[in-house]
Amino acid sequence: MTTVFLTGASGFLGGHLLRELRDTGCQVKALSRRPESDAAIASQGGVPVRADLADSASLLSAIDGCEAVFHAAADTSIWKPHATAQTATNVQGTENMLQAAQAAGVQAFVHTSSVAAYSHLVQGILDESVTQRGTESWINYERTKHVSEQAVKRSALPWIVLQPSHILGPGDRHNWARLIMLIDREKLPGIPPGVGSFADVREIAKAHVRAWERQRFGQSYLVGGEQASFVDFVHRVGAALGKNTPRGATPAWALMAFARLTDAWSRVTGKEPDATPEGAALTSHALRVNSTKAKQELDYAETPLDILLTDTLTWMRQERLLAIGT
């Protein structure tokens, strides 16, 4: 039985990756730092292993005997006070993983990057030929995803990079699920003016595993989904839940002004705000992703947004994340 090592297994995409790897017959050793994560990993058939991205020695011990590493762990915060910790996780943590994987003689390093590596500064449709501008960005998440991806591509390991867009699907408790829960409670104050590319977490997990199985080393893949304005997205969710939603988009300037006010107040309270300038910039951007390469080489599928939303809302109801009766 092939043994692989997985980071981020207790997260949204990482959980799906764990199940997908198990379904292919792999033994999965998964990085875990807490008893709660141990239980979640074990319940999906994984083997929780104590290690820390900040500790190369612990990573080397954890990776021992593994044929491949799937590095899906990342800090996705868009609040400036988290920048130092985020850089340590996304950049130094990835470099530590690469160092440990090389020392352990790992035969494949599959890295989960993001469209954020290209940056919201890039206009037009993204494909793999577009020059990334992450290092030019004032948003730390974009900078760190670019820098960590470049570290992977410079390594001597056989690497593969996946670049997901906006990830949606069953299992989401903290990402788009937060927006959906605000819609369910009819507490969404406004709708950002941007455009999203909504990708199915289950298909993204499959693409990771297929890329590894097909040994697509030295390749990167954008994995996007159906494009929709955030106004359209919110209205679809509102209609599905039978809830009232704002009619149109909040202007980008107004959204940024509000975000700056809440961000300033957060420095007084020390509590992360619902809106940040970084978030305002990202959700005012029109993200468009071309997934042709992943479709051709990995049989990647873009799930229609209505189906993806139905599956997501069904799961959220089962988990009682939505009000009874919605």
Q: Each residue of 63-106: pLDDT tens digit?
A: 999 999 999 999 999 999 999 999 999 999 999 999 999 999 99
Round to whole Å and give the CA distance between 141 and 301: 27
Structure tokens at 30: 């998964």
Residue 4 backbone phi and psi in degrees, to 5: -125, 160
Return phi, psi of residue 16, to 5°.
Answer: -70, -35
Dihedral angle computed from the Cα positions of residues 154, 157, 161 and 167, in that order, rounded to the nearest 10 degrees: -120
Specify the pTM: 0.96
Provide the pLDDT for residue 154: 97
Question: Is pLDDT at 277 greater than 60 in this prediction?
Answer: yes
User: Tens of pLDDT along 3-50?
Assistant: 999 999 999 999 999 999 999 999 999 999 888 889 889 999 999 999
pLDDT-derived band at 1, boundaries 50, 70, 90: confident
User: What's the pLDDT score for residue 252?
Assistant: 96
Q: Residue 285: beta bridge partners? A: none
Amino acid at 74: A
Question: For the residues 193-199, what does the mean pLDDT come to?
Answer: 98
Q: How confident is the model at residue 174 (pLDDT cuts 50, 70, 90)?
A: confident
User: Does residue 326 have a pLDDT over 60?
Assistant: no
Output the pLDDT for position 325: 61
Backbone angles phi, psi at 197, to 5 degrees: -125, 100
For the domain made up of 3-165+199-224+288-302, the CATH class stated in words is alpha beta
pLDDT of residue 212: 98
